[in-house]
C-alpha cells in the first residue's frame, strides 16, 4: 500500500510542478492607490515565500489528471495479459480520491483497482485506503507561572519545516519576539513569559497546529 500512496504523492507533486512551470508562480503587488507598508514584524521571517496548497487546489489538480490524462498506475507500464498493476481510480463507492485538510491532519482517501497474477491465475482487485499525516504540537496546552519558560523542540524525525508563530497574546506583547524562524529538525526555541494571560501559537506552515500557553499570575 505504501507504493500506491507514494505514487499518488508523486502525481500530486508532479502536477504542482507542471502548474508552476506553465502558469508561473503567483505574483503579489499592492493595489493601486494603496500605500506600501512595512511587513508585519510578527509575520514570517523576511525573504520567506508562503504558498498555500488547499483542498480546492488538489481537487482541481486530480480532476484534471483523471479527465485529461490516463489514470495513474503502478508500475506505469505493465506487460501483456495479466497486468500486475494497481490503478488509481477517481472514486469507489462513497470514497473519492483526494487530499483533505482536517485541523492539522492531512487525510488522503484513495480508491484503486488492478490485477495481479497469483499462481498463474489472474486476480482482480478493487478497494479503498486512507493515509493520515498528523501535524500537531505535543502537548497542545501548557500552563506556566509568570516568569516561567516554554521550550519547543523540533523532532529529529521531522521531514517538513515548522515554526512557532504567536497569533494572539495579551495587550502590549510584541508578537515577533515570541515567533521563531522556520526549521525542519534538530532545532530549539525557548521563550520566557512575564505577562499573565493566554498566548495562542500556531505553525505558519501548518495553521492547524495550535498551542495554547496560559501564564498564571
Which domain does 98 fall in, by range? 2-22+50-134
Q: What is the pLDDT along the chain (217 residues), one digit of tens a residue?
A: 444 555 555 555 555 444 444 444 444 455 566 666 666 655 555 655 555 667 787 788 888 888 888 888 887 665 667 778 888 899 888 888 988 876 556 778 889 898 888 888 888 888 888 776 666 667 788 999 999 999 999 988 888 889 999 999 999 898 888 999 999 988 999 999 999 999 999 988 887 788 999 999 7
CB neighbour class for 208 (10 Å; exposed up to 12, middle 13-18, buried from 19): middle
Residues 60, 154, single domain; the answer is: no
Q: Tell me, yes or no, whether 15 and 92 share the same domain.
A: yes
Taking the alpha carbons of 44, 49, 53, 54 in that order, is the dihedral positive or negative? positive
Whether residue 67 is found in the same domain as residue 165: no
- Please indicate, yes or no, whether residues 169 and 208 belong to a single structural domain of this protein: yes
Separation CA 122–CA 185 (nearest Å): 46
Alpha-carbon span 196 to 175, nearest angstrom: 15
Amino acid at each position: 500500500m505504501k507504493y500506491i500512496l507514494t505514487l499518488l504523492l508523486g502525481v500530486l507533486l508532479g502536477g504542482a510542478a507542471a502548474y508552476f512551470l506553465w502558469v508561473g508562480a503567483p505574483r503579489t503587488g499592492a493595489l493601486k492607490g494603496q500605500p506600501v507598508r512595512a511587513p508585519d514584524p510578527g509575520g514570517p521571517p523576511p525573504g520567506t515565500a508562503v504558498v498555500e496548497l488547499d483542498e480546492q487546489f488538489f481537487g482541481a489538480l486530480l480532476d484534471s489528471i483523471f479527465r485529461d490524462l490516463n489514470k495513474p498506475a503502478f508500475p506505469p507500464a505493465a506487460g501483456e495479459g495479466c497486468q500486475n498493476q494497481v490503478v488509481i481510480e477517481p472514486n469507489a463507492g462513497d470514497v473519492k480520491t483526494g487530499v483533505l485538510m482536517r485541523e492539522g491532519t492531512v487525510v488522503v482517501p484513495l480508491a484503486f483497482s488492478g490485477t495481479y497474477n497469483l499462481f498463474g491465475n489472474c486476480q482482480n482487485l478493487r478497494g479503498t485506503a486512507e493515509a493520515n499525516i498528523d501535524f500537531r504540537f505535543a502537548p497542545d496546552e501548557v500552563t506556566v507561572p509568570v516568569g516561567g519558560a516554554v521550550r519547543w523542540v523540533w523532532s529529529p524525525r521531522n521531514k517538513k519545516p515548522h515554526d512557532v508563530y504567536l497569533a494572539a497574546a495579551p495587550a502590549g506583547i510584541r508578537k515577533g519576539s515570541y515567533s521563531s524562524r522556520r526549521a525542519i529538525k534538530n532545532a530549539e526555541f525557548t521563550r520566557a513569559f512575564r505577562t499573565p494571560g493566554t498566548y495562542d501559537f500556531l505553525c505558519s506552515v501548518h495553521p492547524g497546529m495550535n498551542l495554547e500557553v496560559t501564564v498564571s499570575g
